[in-house]
Amino acid sequence: MAPDTLFERIIRREIPADIIYEDVHCVAFRDIAPQAPTHVLVVPREPVPGLDGPLDSALAGHLLHVANLVAAQEHLSAGYRVVINCGRDGGQTVNHLHLHVLGGRAMAWPPG
Ligand code: AMP
């Protein structure tokens, strides 16, 4: 069996995190190393390893919906960015799917 990821331990409240939203499908908490004034991670309770799946399309849609809810809750009315890093070249460091919700400053493009 695959070992628990850090995010599963946060979801189970074994590791502290600043959780700002949760429902039956996912949990959202503040990133420990924020890259913008607001930086929240939206994480499914189900331990999906990454965007490359296996991922149910209804869950994928729900996670995007929650990213938008979190942005509203955080008053990101000027806009925000949602990022999913996938795999080594994508810069993924935790093998549990997560959406970064970044806001509170203007974002540059292209990303590094
Ligand atoms: P990624 O590089 O896309 O896999 O994103 C992993 C994110 O998890 C990074 O932005 C880290 O700063 C964040 N992170 C790592 N450990 C923790 C933690 N204990 N609590 C909150 N965020 C964390």
Burial track 39-50 (b if 16+ CB lie within 10 A, e otherwise)? bbbbbbbeebbb
Residues of the chain with pLDDT under 70: 1-3
Cα 26 to ligand 1 centre (Å) = 16
pLDDT at residue number 112: 83
Percent helix / strand / coil, the chain, rounded to 5:
25, 20, 55
User: How far apart are alpha carbons 84 and 90 in whole angstroms?
Assistant: 8
| Pocket test residue of 4, 5, 6, 51 for ligand 1, highest count of atoms within 8 A of CB | 6
User: How far apart are alpha carbons 13 and 33 in whole angstroms?
Assistant: 19
- Indicate which residues carry an active-site annotation: 98
pLDDT at residue number 1: 54
Cα 71 to ligand 1 centre (Å) = 18
